[in-house]
């Protein structure tokens, strides 16, 4: 079992000259954060890099905060600058899996920075906002980026976020399901506000990694898309 004692438990990496502030106190964007004094002592068996990607405003940072801290960032929207990460160790069938979760800036001007991180990612959570058709229409372009820059065996999960918003919904759940099927990726609707399916999205990624690492040659492959279809909740998500 590995020990995280000597590594940075969280950090900010930014290569831009933007003068904007970082997101919700997640570190000043202009400063490469120094190794944290409060190092994690958490032990783990496996570690996995997960990236949150998608248009600006779809809820990537909120999804990470919900998963990491169990809270929702309401109020005024502060767009992420550059790229930032947080670690969380979760347990899958008795094994401790460290998820290193990279929160990227959705704004176009940061695209070249975030691209540089794709090739190290084991899993990509690709978000759109169910109340914003444009963010959904851009998913094909995001998938093309993934195809170009990410590892071939990267796990991709399409997430329709903000499914708690009923009135302003512009996309039906079926729209997301259809697109995911076309590209052969896992899909579910999520809400960083209510927490719906948030834990599942990250746990499915952790499980996939663990299964890949521990699978014996004669055992069937773990299918993450089937797994989330069985486990996901659809009750609060109305398809208008």
Ligand X SMILES: Nc1nc2c(ncn2[C@@H]2O[C@H](COP(=O)(O)OP(=O)(O)OP(=O)(O)O)[C@@H](O)[C@H]2O)c(=O)[nH]1
CB of 221 to Mg ion, least distance (A): 33
Residue from 145, 189, 183, 120 nearest 54 by CA: 145
Instruction: Choose the contact partner of 166 out of ligand X, Mg ion, none; CB within 5 to 8 A by kind.
Output: none
Residue (62 or 123) nearer to Mg ion, CB: 62
Instruction: Choose the contact partner of 114 out of Mg ion, ligand X, none; CB within 5 to 8 A by kind.
Output: none
Among 14, 46, 73, 201, binds ligand X (CB under 6 A): 73
Q: 236 pairs with which residues across the strands?
A: none
179: how many CB neighbours lie within 10 A of its CB? 19
Residue (7 or 56) nearer to Mg ion, CB: 56
Among 27, 29, 82, 106, binds ligand X (CB under 6 A): 106
Q: What is the DSSP letter of 190?
A: -
Residue (92 or 198) nearer to ligand X, CB: 198
Answer yes or no: are the C-beta atoms of 74 and 164 closer than 8 Å.
Answer: no
Q: Which stretch binds ligand X (CB under 6 A): 25-33, 59-67, 177-185, 216-224?
A: 59-67
Query: How many Å apart are CA 41 and CA 2, to the nearest integer?
Result: 10
CB of 21 to ligand X, least distance (A): 12
Among 10, 12, 80, 122, binds ligand X (CB under 6 A): 80
Residue from 45, 63, 66, 46 nearest 54 by CA: 63
Among 74, 218, 221, 235, binds ligand X (CB under 6 A): 74
Instruction: Choose the contact partner of 59 out of Mg ion, ligand X, none; CB within 5 to 8 A by kind.
Output: ligand X
Q: Which stretch binds ligand X (CB under 6 A): 4-12, 26-34, 102-110, 140-148?
A: 102-110
What per-residue string of b and e applies to 100-130 under the rule 16 or more CB within 10 Å gives b?
A: bbbbbbbbeebeebbeebbeebbbbbbbbbb
Give the CA distances from residue 23 to residues 30, 72, 84, 167, in Å, rounded to whole numbers and listed in that order.
12, 13, 9, 27
Residue from 75, 76, 73 nearest 62 by CA: 73
Residues found near ligand X in the complex (CB under 6 A): 23, 56-62, 73-74, 77, 79-80, 105-107, 161-162, 164-165, 191-193
């Amino acid at each position: 079992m590995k020990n995280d004692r000597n590594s940075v438990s969280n950090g900010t990496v930014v290569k831009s000259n933007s003068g904007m502030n970082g997101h919700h106190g997640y570190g000043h964007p202009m400063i490469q954060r120094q190794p944290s004094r409060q190092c994690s002592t958490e032990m783990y068996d496996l570690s996995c890099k997960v990236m949150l990607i998608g248009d600006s405003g779809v809820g990537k940072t909120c999804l990470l905060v919900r998963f990491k801290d169990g809270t929702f960032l309401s109020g005024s929207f502060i767009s992420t600058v550059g790229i930032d990460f947080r670690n969380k160790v979760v347990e899958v069938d008795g094994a401790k899996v460290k998820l290193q979760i990279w929160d990227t800036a959705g704004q176009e001007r940061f695209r070249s920075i975030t691209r540089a991180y794709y090739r190290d990612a084991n899993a990509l959570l690709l978000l759109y906002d169910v109340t914003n058709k444009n963010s959904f229409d851009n998913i094909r372009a995001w998938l093309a980026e993934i195809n170009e820059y990410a590892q071939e065996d990267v796990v991709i999960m399409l997430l329709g976020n903000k499914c708690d918003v009923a009135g302003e919904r512009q996309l039906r759940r079926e729209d997301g399901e259809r697109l995911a099927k076309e590209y052969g990726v896992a899909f579910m609707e999520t809400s960083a506000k209510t927490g719906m399916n948030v834990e599942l999205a990250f746990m499915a990624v952790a499980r996939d990694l663990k299964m890949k690492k521990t699978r014996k040659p004669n055992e069937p492959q773990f299918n993450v898309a089937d797994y989330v279809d069985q486990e996901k909740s659809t009750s609060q998500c109305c398809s208008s």
